[in-house]
Copies of this chain bind each other. A is one copy, B any other.
Amino acid sequence: MPVNRKCIIRLSRYKNALQRLKALGFVKVFSDNLADAAGATPSQVRKDFSLFGITGNRRGGYVVDELIEQLREILGKNETQKVVLAGVGNIGRALMRYEGFGGGGISILAAFDIDPAKFDENADIPILPLERMHDFISENDVKIGILSVPDVAAQQVSELMQAAGIKGILNFAPIQLRGDDGAIINSINLEVELENLIYFVNAAKKGVKE
């Protein structure tokens, strides 16, 4: 059975749920607890775990600490994951300040922009000229990039990232990017997400059943 995107998303959710349960004092959990917390079914939880060789104990469940450790290992969270960001606009700045990343072993090493007014070499996350992105990425062996530039610049900056060695891009520009064969591009389009919600809310309101 192949490991797909949805499976890995569930693993992240289990890990996050476990960290919350741990904070509440849980020492052991059962697949039912995790299913509730992560919005999956108990059999799905067990299937996901068995795929990665994680086994529980029918009577005793899973040991929270061990399970967190195993999930972090699978998700590559036991080493800090280096990330660069391009485009220091509203979304870019929010991501640079996003607390969920730091706690989760994700470190934005630097951000890049074309606006000199934004440059700040001494900030916690330095903001550097876009021309320096290529060398920075290759010198620091960064593989993951966040793209939060305006849509007209997105394809070009995405190509700059890939040419420098970036293998995975999280794209916030509302545009379909063409990646080369080696890179993975995941897009989050905020407007599309909202439109989607609006469509289904309106459809339900009208009683449309299509």
Instruction: List the interface of chain A (C-beta within 8 A of B).
Output: 2-3, 5, 8-9, 11-13, 16-17, 20, 37-39, 74-77, 81, 83, 90-91, 93-95, 97-98, 100-101, 104, 106, 143-144, 146, 151, 167-170, 174-176, 182, 184, 186, 188-205, 210
Q: Which of B95, B176, B182, B201 contacts A143 (CB 8 A)?
A: B201
C-alpha gap A174/B20 in the complex (Å):
11
Supply 7 further A-B pairs (C-beta < 8 A) apart from A90-B98, A93-B94, A144-B201.
Answer: A8-B195, A100-B174, A100-B191, A101-B191, A101-B194, A106-B195, A186-B196
CB-based nearest B residue for A77: B195
C-alpha gap A201/B104 in the complex (Å):
17
Tell me how far the C-beta of A110 lies from the nearest C-beta in chain B, rounded to whole angstroms.
16
**Do A168 and B93 form a contact, CB below 8 Å, given A3-B203, A143-B205, A174-B100?**
no
Tell me how far the C-beta of A77 lies from the nearest C-beta in chain B, rounded to whole angstroms.
7
Residues from chain B with a CB closer than 8 A to the CB of A8 are: 195-196, 199-200
CB-based nearest B residue for A71: B195
CB-based nearest B residue for A108: B194
Please determine whether A168 and B37 come into contact, CB atoms closer than 8 angstroms: no
**Do A94 and B90 form a contact, CB below 8 Å, given A75-B198, A202-B76?**
yes
- Identical copies of this chain, number: 2
CB-based nearest B residue for A199: B8
Tell me how far the C-beta of A196 lies from the nearest C-beta in chain B, rounded to whole angstroms.
5
Residues from chain B with a CB closer than 8 A to the CB of A74 are: 199
C-alpha gap A167/B204 in the complex (Å):
9
